[in-house]
């Protein structure tokens, strides 16, 4: 079976998530893993410091409001010891709050609620600036070629006219070739965890539309249905 060329597991950037919201941690872990990150998680400052000692992350996503030591204090402590980029999360969007995070040593700032796509883009930008990630110009699987930076897709050399959602869906499959993605994983990754439990058939509709374009001209099916579970990219 052909495999995607996005990156091997050992080369996937490591992100440390620090937030006391278990639901958010679970959603971010799932979404970032599907986008070729290795994910460590911590619910408070003590857990975060323990994770830092056991495995050095390439980037940290840190919530400001937490029990015990808050995110600003933890950010200052981490910045004194480590050089990895830090992205702060907060529900407060006032200028003084953003300034406080940046002065504490954060490299970027994102206000809740946020879109997963924006978080991923910001993380990749931080990693590029830190020299920890070099985004491949192409992802290849069999006769499929995807160029995320140029927003181009081809199959057997022929361009594919994809909608934004179809492009993101194809990228999700091509970054996880051979892996079964549940409908819940796909929905959370494309539209955010808050959509879980709603519009139960929306994933099937988007996959069906994408298949029509991938299989045009009699090309063989490449997105397989795993009955009762979800879908997988395979030949």
Asked whether residue 40 is domain-assigned, the answer is yes
pLDDT at 49 over 70: yes
Residues 199 and 111 in one domain: no
Domain closes at, from 82, 112, 130: 130
Domain extent, residue 143, equals: 139-233
What are phi and psi for residue 179, nearest 5 degrees?
Answer: -95, 135
In this structure, the strands spanning 152-155 and 14-18 are unpaired
Q: Are residues 185 and 217 in the same domain?
A: yes
Q: Is residue 126 in a domain?
A: yes
Burial 68-102 (b: 16+ CB within 10 A, else e): eebbbebbebbbeeeebbbbbbbeeeeeebbebbe
> Six-digit token pair at 31?
């979404």
In degrees and rounded to multiples of 5, residue 234 shows phi and psi of -165, 165
For residue range 56-91, what is the model confidence (pLDDT) as tens digits? 999 999 998 888 898 899 999 998 888 889 999 887
**3-class SS at 189?**
helix
Domain boundary among 107, 130, 153: 130
Query: What pLDDT, in 10s, does the model give residues 135-188?
Result: 567 889 999 999 887 889 999 999 999 998 899 899 889 988 888 888 887 877
- Distance from C-alpha of 212 to C-alpha of 205, rounded to nearest angstrom: 11
Q: What is the pTM assigned to this prediction? A: 0.63
Look up the CATH number of the domain holding residue 206.
Answer: 1.10.10.10
Q: Are residues 74 and 51 in contact, defined by beta-carbon separation less than 8 angstroms?
A: no
Please give the structure tokens belonging to residue 191: 């539209």
Same domain, 31 and 109: yes
From 104, 130, 156, the end of a domain falls on: 130
- Indicate if 26 and 73 belong to the same structural domain: yes
pLDDT at position 212: 95
Whether 151 and 78 share a structural domain: no
């Amino acid at each position: 079976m052909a495999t995607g060329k996005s990156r091997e597991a050992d080369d996937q950037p490591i992100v440390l998530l620090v937030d006391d919201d278990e639901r958010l941690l679970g959603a971010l872990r799932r979404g970032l893993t599907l986008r070729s990150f290795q994910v460590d998680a911590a619910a408070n400052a003590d857990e975060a410091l323990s994770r830092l000692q056991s495995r050095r992350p390439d980037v940290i996503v840190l919530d400001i409001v937490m029990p015990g030591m808050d995110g600003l204090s933890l950010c200052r402590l981490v910045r004194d010891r480590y050089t990895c980029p830090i992205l702060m999360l907060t529900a407060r969007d006032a200028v003084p709050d953003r300034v406080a995070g940046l002065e504490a040593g954060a490299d970027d700032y994102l206000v809740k609620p946020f879109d997963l796509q924006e978080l991923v883009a910001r993380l990749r930008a931080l990693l590029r600036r830190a020299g920890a990630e070099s985004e491949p110009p192409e992802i290849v699987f069999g006769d499929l070629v995807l160029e995320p930076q140029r927003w181009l897709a081809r199959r057997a050399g022929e361009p594919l006219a994809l909608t934004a959602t179809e492009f993101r869906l194809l990228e999700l499959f091509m970054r996880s070739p051979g892996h079964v993605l549940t409908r819940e994983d796909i929905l959370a990754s494309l539209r955010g965890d808050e959509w879980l439990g709603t519009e139960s058939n929306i994933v099937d509709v988007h996959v069906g539309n994408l298949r029509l374009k991938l299989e045009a001209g009699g090309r063989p099916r490449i997105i397989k249905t795993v009955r009762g579970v979800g879908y997988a990219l395979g030949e």
